[in-house]
Every structure is written in C-alpha cells, then in structure tokens.
Structure 1
Amino acid sequence: MDKKNTVIGVLLLLAAFASLYLGNRFAPPAQPAPEIAPAQAPLPTAPNQASPVVQSVGSAPQNTEFAALTGKNADAVVSYLENEFIRVEFTNYGGAIGNVAFKKYGLTKGSSLPFVFNQPRVEPMLSITDVPGLGPETAYTLVSAGDSEVIYEVVLEGRLKVTRRFSLGYEMEGSDPYLIRHDTTLQDLSSNGAPQTVAALSLGTTSLISPSDWGQYLNIMAWDGEDDVVTKPDELKGGGFKSWIGLSDGAPKSSITKDGTVVWAAAKNQFFASVYTGDTAGFSTTARRVELPPFEGSSRANEGLTGVVSYTLPAMAPGGASVLGGDFYVGPKEYDRLRKFEQKQSEVMQFAPYFFSKIFLSGIVAPILNLTMVTMHGWVGNWGVAIILMTLLLKIVTLPFTLAASKSAKRMAKLQPLMKEVREQYKDQPQKLNEATLKIFKENKVNPMGGCLPILITMPLFVAFFAMLQGTAELRFTSFLWVTDLSTPDTVWRLPIGNLPLNIMPILMGATMIYQMRLTPTPTTDNAQVQMMKFMPIIFTLICYNFAAALALYSTVNGVFTIAQQIIVNKTTKDDTPLVKPGGAEVEAKAWNPNKRKGKKKK
C-alpha cells in the first residue's frame, strides 16, 4: 500500500509541474507572416518631465493576417504623452493609442530601446468598432494636446459628434503611473436621436516575449466580478491539448466571442498586460489570433492575440449624448502594483493557470509568496538570493511535515523484511496478504499514508511558488551567478549537432534529486517500483530542462536543503523499537544504512 502511495505522490508532483510547463506545447506552430519593420520614435532626454507634444508623420507598423493599416494611414498624425514610466503614442486614425513604451523595461537585455506594448499594431488600442462610421481607420481631428491630455474629435455625416479624451495622471493623487484615463462622448446632432447601439474597444495586441516563452500566459482575459474567462491561442488555431484528448473538434477559428459580464478585460502575456476597466460593465470579449514573423535568430514563429471588449450604449434623445469611459492600465504584471486596484485587477497575474485550485493558489498562497519575495529582494538587492531565501523559508515552514514524512519513510523501510516475508508466504492468497499487511502496520504503529500525506499537505505551497515565479515581471533580465536572465533557461552553450542547448541549472537539479534518493530510505523491496523511482530524476530533469532559470534555481536549492535535512534525520533519528510480526512475535529492528545498496557488499 505504501509503495502505491509513494508512486501516486510522485505522479501528482510530476503532473502538477508538467501542467505548468506543457500548456500550449501540444498546439501546432504558427506560420510566420511577412515582417514589416516597426517605426520607432526616439525617447526624450528628460524622462522625469512631461514633454511637449510631438507630431510626426509615419505609418503604423503591423505584422498580422488581418487588414493592414500600413499604407492607408501614411498621413497619420502622431502625438505623445509621457511620464517617468511610460511614453504613450497616440494616432489620429481611430483617435486612439498606437502603442505604449515601457521606460523601465528594455526590449532586450542591456538595450536602450524600451519594450513596446501593441507593437504589432493590428489596430490602435481603445479604437472604437461596431459603431457605424467608426473604426481603426477613421480619421479624427486633433483638437488639443497638452502635457497630460490629448483630445480628438470627428463628426459623422452631420448626425453624430464623437469626442475622445485621453489623460495621464488622472484626477486622483497617487494614481498609478501606468494608468491612462479614457472618456468618449457621443453626441447626437440630428433631430431624430439615436437608438441603442454597441461599441467595442480594442485592448491591443499582445505576443510572446521570447523564443523560450511557450504561451502559458498569452491570452485574452475577462473578469466578471467573481471569476475569469480566458481565451487562449490554441482555441483559435485548432489542435492543442483539448483536441488531442478529444475535448475539442480542433478546427481553427477566425475569432472567438465569449459573452458574460465584463468588469474588466485584458490582453496579456507572460510579463505585461493591458487592462481596461470600464465605468460600466461590458457584455462580451472577442479574441482574434495574430501571426508574427519568427524571433530574430530563431526558426520559431512568434504569435499573438488581439482582443476587444464590447459595451452597450443607451439610446440618445435628439441632441442628447452618451458617454463611454474607463481606466486603461498598460504596464508590467507586478502584483504589488495591481493589488491596489479595486476590481481585483491583480487576477491578471494568473498565478494558477493550470491544474490546481485557482481559489487557493491565486487568492491566498501565491500573492503572499510574491509579496514576501519582493520584500526579501528589497533587503538583499538580488533576485537570485531572494529566491534562495524564499526556498529556505518554505522549507522552515514545512519542516514539521517533511520531518514526519522522512521519519515515516525510515520506519517503513525497516518493515520491508517483514513485508517481503508475508508476500512470499501468501503470494497466492491476496486476501490473506492484505490482512497480514494491515496487521503489520497496526502492530508496528505505522501509518501507511504517513509518508504521502505530509508531502501532499506541503505540495500546494511549493507549486504556488513555482507558478508565481513564471509570471513575475521583476525577474525579466535579472542575473545571478552565470545566469544572465532568470526568466529564461540558463543556456551557456549550444551543441554543434542539432543546436541543442546546454542548460546547467536543470542538470544540477537532477543531480540533487539522484543524491537525495540515495539518502532516502526506500519504502519498498519491489524491484519494479525501485527501478521506476530511479528514473524519476531523469524524467523530471527532462520536463524541467527548458524551464526559466528562476524555476530551476528554486528546484535545485530546494533539493540541496532537502539533502541537508535528510542527512540530519539519518544521523540523529534512532528507532530501536522491535518489529512485531503478524502473530505478535518481536524481531530485531535493523537500522537502515543509506550506504548499503542491493547487490553491493559493504567493505
């Protein structure tokens, strides 16, 4: 029974970590589209001051399968608003946001160019669609542009006047610097009024961060006030894991619309997101897939999603007006920043995207772990050291449970001679074998679940920390020892044959697992079970081989601490209690020797 529990526990751990890793790997690769070089306006030299509005002529960059804006908007007038953290580019086409550059986050490690959200530019962010006469290509007039506000206006056939106002800083003191306030007023100019209609706002286009990003967090997400509704790329392009197991027809789709209350909607990837929170609730989100060229120096194509959120505009009386407004966060997925918003915008972190309970991991454990790690980083100034300290803290918190599991495994290993004896005695009588096995457990006061339950209790903590590390924007481009970027695999060299990466941290992790197994008592004498357990470090290493270095660092350090704990347990824990056979006879309890292995004689 104990060997079954051990196998179940190991398989649960493997399934938990594999689900975090595999995600979209069952999806077929996207086909690259022709690459168009993006236009990039230079950043100002004084980032702490609001700069005067710059107007320039250029084309909107785009890499997508949808109708291109480039060429049609050759006369676009571009304006800018900025603060210390972002530079927002506005375009009069759509009277909306062309893109947002993050001054605190570089495009690549060491680059002076910022990461730009909505770089593919399928359509301007917050451009209006579904209203007759309005769209991403509607040419607005720039009414005014100051240090913190841009206003656009357009009149449609003398019947409808649309005024769009965007501002940074908002009216609230201490407002988040990544927040953009948006207000659109539609005023009826006719004598007939206007019926109720629908307006959809673009969330922009989000894409993969790097060739090592497999898209677990690439999605269009809506929050209904209680739960999230997510659309992933594999739902659009067909195939994927659900199709593989028969839960989806696997047919590609041009778009997917999901109805329901929308308190806020987001377009996001591993580290960045655009989150629109309307003054009133929306009623649906629509996602469309975007195909992009391969990453530079890689044959793997990038891919992305563009999304819109739809709102109902009430009917207007003659000369009346309707207002559509909201707050638009475009910035990094930093939990400490997002948790300060009132509508649970921190759920965009998606700490538990797969497998385990979102309520437990996302709502309780992962946020606490994130805030604790950020605090530790403030103390030590290095994210690698902060991860090590967090791993040590988790080991201390779970020490009573892991010690109980270690002691139980050691006691169970001592029972194996008795277990082997009854198996041979009742090998053709399964019912009597079960009765004798249970009697051995009872008379020796051993809980067959004693080695499994403590691990299952602590597992959510470690899985939550593991999942949290994957989507933490602060880890991007941070270094530790030989690792140049903790958010990507620590590839130090590529093999000449097959261009296979040599990642050191996962190899160290596998080595610690092998040594840990050597120190740990084997709770079974079944050769098949023993052989299977020997392969677990290899399987786990292969699964984790292309994990981000931060995840491999955590797993490696956790293994080192576990080895130290097991050495102490083996040296300090003595159990001289005689073993009791199923009839009540006592036998000598031989101490388990970690240096003694089957088939090897001790010299």
Structure 2
Amino acid sequence: MEKRVVVFLIVSLAVIIGYDYLLKGMGLLPPSEPVQVATTGTSASAIDKASGPEGGSAQSASAEARTTSPAAAKSAPIDNAVGAGQAEEQTVEVDTELFRAKFSNRGAVLKSWELKRYTTSGENGATPVQLVYSGGRFKGPLSLVTSDQALTGDLGTAVYQVTQDITRLDSAHPVGHLTFRYHDAQRNLEVEKELTFHHGSYVVDIAIRTKGVTTPLDVTLGTNFGIVEWGEGFIGLMGSASSVDDKVLKETPDGEAERRGEVKWSAIQDKYFLSVLMPQKAAAALAKKEGDKLVSAGVRFPAPANGSVLTMQLYAGPKEYDILKALNVGLEDTIDFGWFVFGSWALVKAVAKPIFYVLRFLYEFTHNYGITIILLTMLIKLMFVPLQYKSYKSMKQMQVIQPKVLAIQNKYKDDRDRLNKELIKLYKDHRVNPVGGCLPMVLQMPVFVALFNILYMTIDLRQAPFMFWIKDLSVQDPYYVLPIIMGATMVIQQKITPTTMDPTQAKIMLFLPVFMTFLFVNFPAGLVLYWLTNNTLTITQQVVTERLFGKKWQVPAADGEIPGGDESKEQKLTGKRQKGQSE
C-alpha cells in the first residue's frame, strides 16, 4: 500500500507542479513576454514646469495657486471632433503619496499609473511598478465606448477641455479633482468625466455625465491595466475577473464575454496587482481576450438619460489583503489562498486566513519575513507533534512486521481473498494500523497547502529581504543555496524515516530529493525557506523520538508466539526464502 501511495504522490506532484516547466522545456509553450513599461511623453506645460522637487512650503503654495491646467486656460471649448483633432495633445499629472498618474486630454484616458512603493527590475535598474500597458494597440483605461462606432471614435480621439484644482496631494491637501469636458454642438453631445483623488488611497471616485448619448455606455479598463507581468506560476489566475450577483468568476474568456446582473466589480489582475472598476447600477461586467497574454475588461451601463450621472470607483494598486477587504465588495477573494490541485477549496481557504493573520502578527515583532517564516513553521510543527508522533510510531511498527507481511504475500499470492484476511488478522494480532502512518499526514495537508499558498501568493513577501544574499523572498535564490540545502535535508529525512520498501524501491526513491531540488530552484526563496525549515524540524523530531521511544515500539507477539528469538528466526527464514526465489 505504501508503494502505491508514494507512486501516486510522485506522479501527482510531477503533473501539478512540473507540467508548465516540462512543456516549456520541450518548446511547446511560448517564452514569457514581459509587459512593456509605458513611456508617455508629456508636453512642456505649465504644470510640468511648475512641478519642482517634492516637499517645501514654496511647492505647496504653488500647488494651491495652480487651479487649472493649460488646456483649461483656452479661451473656448472645442466644439467638434475635427477641431479636436487639430488641437494640441497634453498630459495632466496627479501625484499622491502612493502613486503618480498621468492622463491625456485626447480621449480623456489614463496613460500612466506608477506605484511609488513597489519597484520592478529592468535594464535601467529598479523602477516604479507601471500598471498601464503601453502596447498602443487598444483603447486606454477609462475609455468610453458605445455601440455607435462613429461616436466611439469621436470620444476616443477628441481633445477634451481639462480643469484641475491641484496636481499633488498631501496631508494638507487631501482631496483633488480632475475634470474632462467634451462638447459637440452639431450633435448636441456633451460628455463630462470627473475624477476625485484622495490622499493615502488608491481609490479614485469617477462621475460621468452625458447628454445626447442614446445607447448603452461602456467604461473600459483598457488592455492589461493592472498586469505587471504574466507569471508562469501554477497558483492563481492571471487576466480578467468579475463579481456579478455575488458570484466571483476569475477566468478570461476565449473571446468576448458579458456577464449581466448586479455588478460589484470588474477587474484585471496578476499575482500581486490589479485594476478594478466598482460601479453603481451597472448592467453588466465585460471581459475580452485581445490576443496572446492580452485581456481587457470593463463595465456596461444602460443608455444614460440626459443629465444623469454614472458613478463608479477605480482601484489600481497592490493586492494587499486589508486594503481590498476594506473596500467591502469581496475583492479580497482575488487573493486565492484556497488553491489545491486543480481548483479552489473552501477548507484550505478557511485554514489559510488564520495562518495569514498569525504570519503578519509575528512580523510585527520580527520585522523580517524570513525569521517570521521560520517561527511560523516551528509553531505549526509543534501543533502537529502528537499526529507526527503517531505517524512515526505506526511506520516503525509496520517496518518490524514487514517480514511477516512478505511471508503472507508469498504464501497466498494466488488467493486474493485469503491474502486480505490473513493480513487483517496479522495487523489485528499485533495491534498495528496499516494506514496509521498516512492518516496523520492527510490531516496535516490542508495546513501545509494553505501555508504554501500564502507564501506563494501574498504581496507581503514581495521585496521583503531575509539576510545575506536573500534580498527578496518572493523571487528565487540567486545562488541556489537554499534549494541545495533543502535537497540535502530530504535525503537525510529519507534515510532516517522507517519504511517497508525493499532496497531497490528505496534506491529509486532517492531520485525524489533530486527532482524536488531542481523543482524548487525556480520557487520563491520564502517558499524554499519554509520547506527547508520544515524538513530540518522533522529530522530533529524523528531523531529525538527514536532515541526516547524507539525501543518501546517493538511489536508485541501474537498469541502462541515467543517474542524476541522466534521473531528473529522467522525474519532470517523469510530472507533466505526470498533470496532462494530470486536465484
């Protein structure tokens, strides 16, 4: 039975974890394409000239004095799309403590959204994380789309009139407004898009007023807005996601999808970041696959009445659990702590959340996530000491009676019913549970899987240093030291763990640490640190347990047997019979 369990675990692990790597190595998967960083050029506007170094009373005073952008200073609004196309395109900037956003007055769309507290490595070193995709093939974030293609084209190419009350938000100026207006007298068309920014928040309030729009109106997130990179990981889903009628769907459609109902949010996400629209009274959530590793999303409103206001909120930032939960729309579910095998499981998620809280609680004292991972692993290990004790004891007892098991299997190999009856009688006479070694491991699995998910998914470990050469626990060990040491601990653990396998099977199992070592080379350092710590504690526990209780676990003799000597003789006779059969 143990052989089948081992084979099942190896095959499952290879399929679940090694699938993507195998296909990629065979050339069946295209190489990963990093998302390009937007490089939006700004005009020499008065805003750019006046925006000096951050801080200082003079800067604050100038920020208060600037009440309009250069676009707002024009003497008259632009009245038609032709005139708009001839006007100069300019960039308007909003700078906050958390992000720096740039908008174009052509189409009133977002051109850049940089997160100040997160960086990404590139050719020019560490640069702020950029959430806006710069491919330039599709409509930008916050574009307005209708079923009238001509109208959509005009709204996307027109140069809007812009008013702005402040460019930089701080504690003294916690709220800022940016408004885009477009007017077409020939069509009797008016569009106003007002954005309200808040100091210390990634959330932007959006209000859209229209006149002359008689068809449903879509507000889009653009393409790949919120995706920093398409990872090759096996946990979590990249692409579009939405919550409609309290049902969360985290799948990107093969083509274009419209989910009708009560829309709470529509988002584009990757492992650590996302952009999301949270509308009021929207009719549907939209998602579309634009190409290979290119997705778009948005929300659809019913045809607005003249003068009506369409309201929503935009969030573009990190997938920090507390921030998402505080929005109170279920966005924290985009952090999938419940992943296991090929789906998300409520049991694993229920176990993961308390562990996640403990992880962050310990971090408040250590201020080092590497040390926190070690302490958390120790706590979990202590919690499961009784179960692991029973597992080790059961495996040790099975190892002692293994010669009798082999003798019965050889004697009744042609009679399956008799074989099962004799084995059950043997286990009962010696008071040994054949599944006693596996059952405690099964009970521990939800905890280990939950911790695995937390260390793999949470943004808390991104850019978190440990010590020495480990500068970021969310990326792989650059020198492969932790994976190699982890592989060595797996070999030691195999050597000291009781087993009922024959020597040939035991030698084959030595390839498992080699396989795991090569696999964990590509895993985040924080995950490898957890596995290494767990292996080290398991080895320590087994050594201590063997020295304290090993002699007490000799299997009691069955009725009519003489313990000790007869047992040794039977083991010798069984060994001789097996040797003779092999010859």
TM interval, shorter chain, is 0.7 to 0.9
| Equivalent residue letter for 1:115 | V
1:400 aligns with 2:386: yes
- Superposition deviation, residue 455 in structure 1: 0.9
Query: How far off is 1:323 after superposition?
Result: 2.6
Question: How large is the Cα RMSD of the aligned pairs?
Answer: 3.7
Provide the identity percentage. Answer: 25
Report how far residue 419 of structure 1 moved: 0.9
Give the AA of the match of 2:477.
D
Matches within 5 A, 1:460-499: 460-480=446-466, 481-492=468-479
| Secondary structure of 1:326's aligned partner | strand
Give me the whole-angstrom Cα distance separating, in 2, the residues matched to 1:112 and 1:429. Answer: 69
Question: SS state of the match for residue 321, structure 1?
Answer: coil
Q: In structure 1, what is the Cα distance between the partners aligned to 2:411 and 2:382?
A: 44
CA distance in 1, matches of 2:226, 2:277: 18
Q: Pairwise mapping of residues 478-557 of structure 1 onto structure 2 (< 5 A)?
A: 478-480=464-466, 481-492=468-479, 503-522=480-499, 524-527=500-503, 529-557=505-533
Task: Tell me which residue corresponds to 1:177.
Answer: 201
Bigger fraction of residues in helix = 2
* 1:387 Cα offset (Å): 1.4
Q: Which runs of 5+ in 2 are unaligned?
A: 43-47, 72-84, 167-175, 569-574, 576-583
**Partner residue in 1 for 2:414:** 428
Letter in 1 for 2:162: V
Q: Give the equivalent residue in structure 2 for 1:67.
A: none
Contact 2:496/2:542, CA 8 A, preserved across alignment: yes
Q: What residue number does 1:305 align with?
A: 294
Answer yes or no: is the 8 Å Cα contact 2:37–2:133 preserved in 1. Answer: no
Normalised TM-score (structure 2): 0.79
Aligned counterparts of 2:560 and 2:231: Cα–Cα separation in 1: 60
Alpha-carbon contact 1:218-1:269 (below 8 Å) kept: yes
**Alignment correspondent of 1:417:** 403
In structure 2, how many angstroms separate the alpha carbons of the residues matched to 1:387 and 1:20? 27
Out of 86, 90, 93, the residue aligned to residue 77 of structure 1 is 90
Partners of 2:277 and 2:312 within 8 A in 1: yes
| Residues 24 and 228 of structure 1, relative CA distance in 2, 3 Å threshold | farther
Displacement after TM superposition at 1:559 (Å): 0.8
Query: C-alpha distance in 2, partners of 1:20/1:73?
Result: 50
Contact 1:207-1:269 at 8 Å conserved across structures: yes
Moved more, 108-117 or 150-159: 108-117
Does residue 115 in structure 1 map to residue 129 in structure 2? yes
Match of 2:53 among 41, 45, 58: 45
Alignment partner, residue 178 of structure 2: 150
* Aligned residue in 1 for 2:156: 137
Q: CA offset at residue 23 of structure 1? A: 11
**Deviation of the 1:166 alpha carbon:** 0.6
1:368 paired residue among 349, 354, 370: 354
Match of 1:575, SS? helix
Cα separation, partners in 2 of 1:516 and 1:10, compared to 1, 3 Å: same
Shift of 1:272: 1.1
Match of 1:499 in 2: none
* Aligned position for 1:230: 250
Matched position secondary structure for 1:29: coil
Structure 2 residue 143 is matched with structure 1 residue 127 = yes
**Is 1:333 the counterpart of 2:308 in the alignment?**
no
**Residue 563 of structure 1: how far off its partner (Å):** 0.9
Relative to structure 1, the CA distance from residue 201 to residue 324 in structure 2 (aligned partners, 3 Å threshold; closer, same or farther) is: farther
Map 1:571-586 to 2 at 5 A: 571-573=547-549, 574-580=551-557, 585-586=561-562
- Report the CA distance between 1:287 and its aligned residue: 2.7
2:396 corresponds to which letter in structure 1?
Answer: K
The CA deviation at 1:11 is 5.1
Pairwise CA distance, 1:346: 0.5
Aligned to 1:271: 272
Structure 1 residues 6 and 566: alpha-carbon distance in aligned structure 2, compared to 1, 3 A threshold: same
Quote the offset at 1:330 in angstroms: 0.7
Q: Is the 8 A contact 1:2 1:448 kept in 2?
A: no
Question: What is the CA distance between 1:391 and its match in structure 2?
Answer: 1.4
Going from structure 1 to structure 2, the CA distance change for 1:354 and 1:78 (only over 3 Å counts) comes to farther
Higher relative contact order (CA 8 A, sep 6+): 1
Q: In 1, distance between residues paired with 2:312 and 2:189? A: 21
CA distance in 1, matches of 2:377, 2:384: 11
Q: Which residue of 1 aligns with 2:82?
A: none
Tell me by how many angstroms 1:38 deviates. Answer: 1.9
Give the whole-Å Cα distance in 1 for the aligned partners of 2:316 and 2:483.
Answer: 34
**Separation (CA, whole Å) in 2 of partners of 1:8 and 1:425:** 27
The one-letter code matched in structure 2 to 1:308 is: A
Q: Any idea what the Cα deviations from partners look like across 1:45-74, whole Å, max 9, x if unmatched? A: 3279988479699xxxxxxxxxxxxxx999
**Which of these residues, 539, 544, 560, is aligned with residue 563 of structure 1?**
539
Please give the per-residue CA displacement for 1:310-332, whole angstroms capped at 9, x wherever unaligned.
3132463xxx3333221111111
CA distance in 2, matches of 1:112, 1:449: 52
User: 3-state DSSP class of the match of 1:469?
Assistant: helix
Mark the CA change 1:177 to 1:33 in structure 2 (over 3 Å): closer, same or farther: closer
Shift of 1:531: 3.7
Structure-2 separation of matches of 1:476 and 1:138 = 39
1:280 aligns with 2:281: yes
SS of the residue 2:250 aligns to: strand
Flag the 1:525–1:230 CA change in 2: closer, same or farther, 3 A.
closer
Alignment-mate amino acid for residue 306 of structure 1: V
Matches of 2:483 and 2:126, distance apart in 1: 31
1:349-368 correspondence runs (5 A): 349-353=335-339, 355=341, 358-360=344-346, 363-368=349-354
Q: CA deviation at 1:226?
A: 3.9
1:204/1:274 contact within 8 Å kept: no
Is 2:221–2:297's contact at 8 Å kept on the other side of the alignment?
A: yes
**Partner of 2:77 in structure 1?**
none
* Matches of 1:426 and 1:212, distance apart in 2: 53
The answer to whether the 8 A contact 1:163-1:185 is kept is: yes
Structure 1 gaps of 5+ residues are 58-71, 170-174, 189-193, 237-254, 292-303, 493-502, 592-597, 599-603
Q: Could you tell me which residue of structure 2 aligns to residue 244 of structure 1?
A: none
Equivalent position amino acid for 1:313 in 2: P
The answer (yes or no) to whether the contact 1:79–1:90 under 8 Å persists in 2 is yes
Distance 1:112 1:305, change over 3 A: same
The answer as to whether partners of 1:206 and 1:305 remain within 8 angstroms in 2 is no
Whether the aligned pair in 1 keeps the contact of 2:283 and 2:302 (CA below 8 Å) is: no
Q: What is the distance in 1 between the residues matched to 2:88 and 2:232?
A: 36
Is the 2:400–2:554 Cα contact (8 Å) retained in structure 1?
no
C-alpha distance in 1 between matches for 2:242 and 2:376: 32
- The match for 1:218 is 238
Counterpart of 1:113 in structure 2: which amino acid? T
- Cα separation, partners in 2 of 1:416 and 1:74, compared to 1, 3 Å: farther
The separation in 2 between residues aligned to 1:34 and 1:570, in whole angstroms, is 53
Question: Greater Rg, structure 1 or structure 2?
Answer: 2
* Pair 1:395–1:176, CA change in 2 (3 A): farther
Query: Does the residue aligned with 2:224 lie in a helix, a strand or coil?
Result: strand
Q: Structure 1 residues 445 and 562 mapped into 2: Cα distance closer, same or farther (>3 Å)?
A: same
Distance in 2, Cα, partners of 1:24 & 1:354: 22
CA distance in 1, matches of 2:133, 2:343: 34
Take 1:549 and 1:511, find their aligned partners in 2: how far apart are those partners? 16
Tell me how far apart the structure 1 counterparts of residues 188 and 315 of structure 2 sit (CA, whole Å): 32
Task: Quote the Cα distance in structure 2 between the aligned partners of 1:18 and 1:394.
Answer: 27
Can you list the C-alpha shifts for 1:470-514, whole angstroms capped at 9, x where unaligned? 22223222222322222111122xxxxxxxxxx222222111111
Asked if the contact 2:34–2:230 (Cα under 8 Å) also holds between the matched residues in 1, the reply is no
Map 1:191-206 onto structure 2 (within 5 A).
195-206=214-225
Distance 1:14 1:213 in 2: 16
